[in-house]
Every structure is written in C-alpha cells, then in structure tokens.
Amino acid sequence: MLKLYTYFRSSAAYRVRIALHLKGLSFEAIPVHLLRDGGEQHSTAYVELNPARLVPTLQDGALRLTQSLAIIEYLEETHPEPPLLPPTPEARARVRSLAQSIACDIHPVNNLRVLRYLETSLRIDEQARSGWSRHWIDVGFGAIERMLADARTTGTCCYGDSPTLADCCLIPQVFNALRLKCPLERFPTVMRIYEHCLRLEPFQRAAPGAQIDAEPPPGVQTN
C-alpha cells in the first residue's frame, strides 16, 4: 500500500493526491501538520524521510520519494494508465513546461516558509505579504493564460480533454489564489480549466476540504 505524507492545504501534496486519484491508486494518507508545534515536518522522524522538510513524501514499500513532480513522473512510469503525459516528446515538453511554470515560477515564492521568512526576518507586514503573493500569482498566471489561450492543444484541460501533469499543478495553484483572494478575471482560460477539473471525481477526492486532516476555513464554527 502506498503511503502519502501530506498536509491538506499543501499544494504540492494536493498535486500528488490528484495524480494518485486519476490513476485510481489507493493510498494511506499520513498527515504532517505544517503549523502545529512549530511544524511536524521538522520532527526528527520526518526529516529522516524527507531531508528537505517539505511535504509530500510518497512511500512505496522501502522506497521513499520526494518532490511532487518527480513523484508524479514515477507514478506515470510505474502505472502508465491513464497517462498523465501525452505520447510525443513535443507534447510532453509542453505539458511539463506548463507544470513547471507553476511548480518553479509561482509556488516556491509563495510557500509557507518563504512567507514566514518575510514576516519574521524581514518584518514585512501582512498587507505587503499578501501583495507579494498576489504579485507572483498575477505574473505567473499571466504567462500561463497566454500559453493556454492561443494554443490549439488547449482543450477542456491544459492539454486536450484529459487531465495531465499540468492540470495536477494548475488546480492547486488556482485553489491557493482563491484563498488569497487574488483577482482572477484576467485569466479566463485558466479559470475555465479549473472549473472543468473541479467537476471530475479524482479532483474532488484530492481537494483540501476532502482530506482527513482538513480544517474548517477561518471564521467557520464547527460545534
């Protein structure tokens, strides 16, 4: 049985959850709370599994895998159906480029540890931190919208009409942008694909709110 070390709101973990559900692979979710007790990702046991102190980690028997895109490529190679990458090198490059435009250009600048460094070491206030996050999402989605809007390869999903690695990355990033209340009207193709994917069961099962460690949004009473 595959084990996924995950945090409901981590968009890197969310990508891998989407890929697992798209491939119909069952897995045990092991929550790693990124905030509680200074962050469970810093525990000795977890650092042993993942020296980068990040989620996700996928355990497949004795094998431990880190980095969300490397994990999804591994799942693609070991469980090829349904494919998350198209067949030709050109098309694969296109899908990987879209995925990396999110995983390298948008997400790393906005993740928890970076925002925390801005707050604690550089004393950047909350408003400027929100501005920072929105800026990088706006710049990154601007590029992705332009890549998607003009391309004949864009379908109901980022590449054609079946979800790929690119959609595994895009949907969590839009989820994050909505959480941060980013204005997204300038990105109609991105939003159309987001809304399409949200209707698909694998994406619904992978969503933050559907996880065993999900917490209610701030302000919502649960009693």
Residues engaged in binding its own copies (CB under 8 A): 51-54, 63, 65-67, 69-71, 73-74, 77-78, 89-90, 92-93, 96-97, 99-101, 103-105, 107-109, 113-114, 117-118, 121-122, 124, 128, 131-132, 135, 139-140, 142-144, 146-147
Cβ 214 to its own copies shortest distance, Å: 25
Cβ 92 to its own copies shortest distance, Å: 7
21: region left, alpha or beta (phi > 0 left; psi from -120 to 50 alpha): alpha
Helical spans, DSSP H, in the chain = 11-22, 44-49, 68-78, 89-103, 112-120, 126-149, 165-179, 188-198, 201-206
- Shorter beta-carbon distance to its own copies: residue 40 or 200: 40
- Measured CA to CA, the distance from residue 17 to residue 23 in angstroms comes to 10
24: region left, alpha or beta (phi > 0 left; psi from -120 to 50 alpha): left
Q: Is 121 helix (H, G, I), strand (E, B) or coil?
A: coil
| Residue 127, CA distances (Å) to 44, 130, 146 in order | 34, 5, 28
Cβ 202 to its own copies shortest distance, Å: 21
Helical spans, DSSP H, in 3-60 = 11-22, 44-49
- Shorter beta-carbon distance to its own copies: residue 12 or 200: 12
- Shorter beta-carbon distance to its own copies: residue 11 or 211: 11
- Shorter beta-carbon distance to its own copies: residue 187 or 200: 187
- Shorter beta-carbon distance to its own copies: residue 79 or 192: 79
Provide the total of helices (H) and of strands (E) in the chain, helices listed first: 9, 4
- Measured CA to CA, the distance from residue 22 to residue 24 in angstroms comes to 5
- Shorter beta-carbon distance to its own copies: residue 45 or 63: 63
Cβ 183 to its own copies shortest distance, Å: 18
Cβ 77 to its own copies shortest distance, Å: 4
Cβ 208 to its own copies shortest distance, Å: 20
- Measured CA to CA, the distance from residue 15 to residue 197 in angstroms comes to 13
Q: Is 20 helix (H, G, I), strand (E, B) or coil?
A: helix
